[in-house]
Amino acid sequence: MADWTDGPEYAPEDRPAAFVAPDAVALAEAPSAAPVTDFPADEPNFVAPSAPAPDLRELVPTAAPGRNPNLPFESITSPMTAVQPVTPERRPEEPFNAPGPPLSGYLPVQPVIQPTAQVNPAPFPAPGSTAWFAPPTGQPVLPSPSPVDISRIWKETTNWVMIPLIIAMFILPASPIALLVAWLSTVQIRYRRTAIRRAYWIALAAIVVISLATVFADSSVGIWDPVCITSLLAAWVLVFVTPGLVGAALRNNEAPDRY
């Protein structure tokens, strides 16, 4: 039985009041090992054989003909143990060796040539004729683009841009607000957005520079009056520049911008 003398892991959780001997019965002492007396006292010695030894020349193997290792083994086989011929596997791109079912009941024996079949293609039309410039037969004719007129340019420029510009052209107190609305509405235009936004940025920079220069030149003038006047003048310019850029894109058959 293990106790505290075997190590700290066997120590009790509560400290004992005194250390006493265990109640277990002590084990019997192991008997002492007996000395080994089976070994001989004298060293072993070699005794020569009494019979005469054979001649070493008699131990040479015989020179009788044996089996040629280059030849295969010969074995007697039965039909049960005979090796069956292996059929080579057909590759997918190779044709079938075995003929297929007859097609006499599905296809006619002689091909029938239609009398109206066109064997040779028609000759090319003469250069310069009307058929020379006609589109090839069998290809769809693309519809001609719609004409670029004022109504289409107005539609692509959108009412949200044109109407605020017209208001800014004639109503002086509302010119800055109307011009700002037209500027924000240019996101709906699908053609040449970069050029149109650049034009509005130039107009905004001109309005700011001219208004600040006017206020610095004459301190009695408020900032709102030059802003309204320059916004009205900018509206007169942008009302022609914006649809002009859209109309140029439409006449050149440009694709709409993605963003």
pLDDT of residue 139: 57
**Do 162 and 154 meet the contact criterion of CB atoms below 8 Å apart?**
yes
Give dist(CA 209, CA 234) in Å, integer.
13
Contacts of residue 204, defined as CB under 8 A and 6 or more positions apart, other chains included, come to 183
**Do 138 and 122 meet the contact criterion of CB atoms below 8 Å apart?**
no
Indicate whether 90 pLDDT > 80. Answer: no
**Do 192 and 246 meet the contact criterion of CB atoms below 8 Å apart?**
yes
CA angle 246, 229, 168 (to 5 degrees): 40
Torsion of CA 7, 10, 14, 15, to 10 degrees: -30
> What residue has token string 């970069």?
194
Computed over every residue of the chain, the mean pLDDT equals: 79
Distances (CA, A) of 223 to 54, 93, 173, 227, 236: 139, 87, 13, 6, 21
pLDDT of residue 20: 75
Percent of the chain clearing pLDDT 70 (strictly above): 76
Give dist(CA 177, CA 159) in Å, integer.
16
Q: Token pair for residue 35? A: 């000395």
> What residue has token string 């005469």?
52
Indicate whether 4 pLDDT > 70. Answer: no
Distances (CA, A) of 248 to 3, 22, 98: 105, 113, 71
pLDDT band at 181 (very low <50, low <70, confident <90, very high): very high
Q: Token pair for residue 155? A: 């539609």
Indicate whether 112 pLDDT > 70. Answer: no
Indicate whether 104 pLDDT > 70. Answer: no
Enter the pTM of the model. Answer: 0.44
**Do 208 and 159 meet the contact criterion of CB atoms below 8 Å apart?**
no
If residue 130 lies in a helix (H) or strand (E), which one and from where to where?
A: helix 130-133
